[in-house]
Amino acid sequence: MGTAKQDVAQLLAKLPEDCTLEDVQYHLYVVEKIQRGLDRAEKEGALPQQEAEKRLAKWLTE
């Protein structure tokens, strides 16, 4: 990711011309949450897929 301004410019370039301000806000929110999650995973670590599935097995139904 680049600077915040660069990220917003890239996002706006991808959105359709008829998008609303609400659409822009939603997509900015999603991008921010994803970036926070990636930063947190890098700092605190993340579980491998198999470990996550093992921990969640009691709630998963097949």
Q: What is the pLDDT of residues 4-42, one digit of tens each?
A: 899 999 999 999 999 999 999 999 999 999 999 999 999
14 within some domain: no
| pLDDT at residue number 59 | 86
43 within some domain: yes
| pLDDT at residue number 40 | 95
How far apart CA 17 and CA 7 sit, in angstroms, is: 18
C-alpha dist (Å) from residue 22 to 18, 29, 31: 11, 10, 14
Expressed as residue numbers, the domain containing 62 is 19-62
Look up residue 18 and give its DSSP letter.
T
Structural domains in the chain (count): 1
54 within some domain: yes
3 within some domain: no
9 within some domain: no
Q: pLDDT category, 44, cuts 50, 70, 90?
A: very high
30 within some domain: yes
| pLDDT at residue number 60 | 76
